[in-house]
A and B are shown apart, each in its own frame.
Chain A
Amino acid sequence: MNTTEITNMNTILELTVANHPGVMSHVMGLFARRAFNVDSIVCMPLPGNAGLSRIWLRVQEDRRLDQMIRQIEKLIDVSEVKRHGPGHEVFTAIAPYFE
Chain B
Amino acid sequence: MQSYTGADIIITLLERQGIKTIAGIPGGANLPIYDALARNGRIRHVLARHEQGAGFIAQGMTRVSGEVQVCFATSGPGATNILTAIADARLDSIPIVCITGQVPSSLIGTDAFQEVDTYGLSIPITKHNFLVRNIAELFTVIPEAFRIAASGRPGPVLIDIPKDVQQARMEVHSWPDPGTPDKPIAPERTPLIEAAAMINASRRPILYIGGGIIASGASKALLEVCEKSSIPVTPTLMGLDAIPSDHPLNIGMLGMHAARYTNHALHACDLLIAVGSRFDDRATGRVEAFCPTARIIHVDIDPSEIDKIKPSSIGITGDARLVLEAWIPEIRKTDRSEWITEIDELRKRYPLELPGADDPMSSYGVIRHTAALLPDDAIITTDVGQHQMKVAQAYPFSTPRTWLTSGGLGTMGFGFPTAIGAALQAPDRPVVCFSGDGSFLMNIQELATLAEENLNVKVILLDNQSLGLVHQQQDLFYGSRFIAVNYPRKVDFAAIAKGFGVDALSLGEAEDPSEALAGAIQRPGPCLIHVPIDVYDKVFPMVPPGGCNTDMLTHTN
Interface residues, chain A, CB within 8 Å of chain B?
Answer: 21-22, 25-26, 29, 33, 66-67, 70-71, 73-74, 76
Q: Give the complex CA separation of A33 and B120 in angstroms.
A: 13
Partner of B120 from the list A25, A66, A71, A76 (CB cut-off 8 Å) is A25
Q: Shortest CB–CB separation between residue A2 and chain B, in angstroms?
A: 24
Q: Are B119 and A22 in contact (CB under 8 A)?
A: yes
Q: Shortest CB–CB separation between residue B68 and chain A, in angstroms?
A: 16
Given contacts A22-B119, A22-B131, A76-B148, are A33 and B124 in contact (CB under 8 A)? Answer: yes
- Binary contact readout B284-313 vs A (1 if CB under 8 angstroms, 0 otherwise): 000000000000000000111001100000
Please classify how large the interface on chain B is, using the bins under 10, 10 to 19, 20 to 34, 35 or more: 10 to 19
Q: Are B123 and A67 in contact (CB under 8 A)?
A: no
Beyond contacts A67-B304, A70-B303, A76-B127: 4 other A-B pairs, Cβ-Cβ < 8 A, are A21-B131, A25-B120, A66-B307, A71-B304
Residues on A with beta carbons closer than 8 Å to the beta carbon of B347: none
Q: Shortest CB–CB separation between residue A71 and chain B, in angstroms?
A: 5
Q: Shortest CB–CB separation between residue A34 and chain B, in angstroms?
A: 11
Q: Are A76 and B304 in contact (CB under 8 A)?
A: no
Residues on A with beta carbons closer than 8 Å to the beta carbon of B123: 22, 25-26, 29
- Our count of residue pairs bridging A and B at CB distance below 8 angstroms stands at 24
Residues on A with beta carbons closer than 8 Å to the beta carbon of B148: 76
Residues on A with beta carbons closer than 8 Å to the beta carbon of B128: 76
A-B interface, 5 closest residue pairs, ranked by CB to CB distance from nearest: A70-B304, A76-B128, A29-B123, A71-B304, A70-B303
Q: Give the complex CA separation of A76 and B151 in angstroms.
A: 12
Q: Give the complex CA separation of A1 and B247 in angstroms.
A: 55
- Binary contact readout B117-151 vs A (1 if CB under 8 angstroms, 0 otherwise): 00110011001100100000000000000001000
Q: Give the complex CA separation of A74 and B123 in angstroms.
A: 13
Report 22 cross-chain contacts, Cβ distance below 8 Å, ordered by A residue. Answer: A21-B131, A22-B119, A22-B131, A25-B120, A25-B123, A26-B123, A29-B123, A29-B124, A33-B124, A66-B307, A67-B304, A67-B308, A70-B303, A70-B304, A71-B304, A73-B303, A73-B304, A74-B302, A74-B304, A76-B127, A76-B128, A76-B148
Residues on A with beta carbons closer than 8 Å to the beta carbon of B120: 25
A72's nearest neighbour on chain B, judged by CB, is B304
Q: Shortest CB–CB separation between residue A66 and chain B, in angstroms?
A: 8
Residues on B with beta carbons closer than 8 Å to the beta carbon of A76: 127-128, 148
Q: Shortest CB–CB separation between residue A49 and chain B, in angstroms?
A: 17
Residues on B with beta carbons closer than 8 Å to the beta carbon of A74: 302, 304
Q: Give the complex CA separation of A16 and B307 in angstroms.
A: 25
Q: Give the complex CA separation of A26 and B127 in angstroms.
A: 11
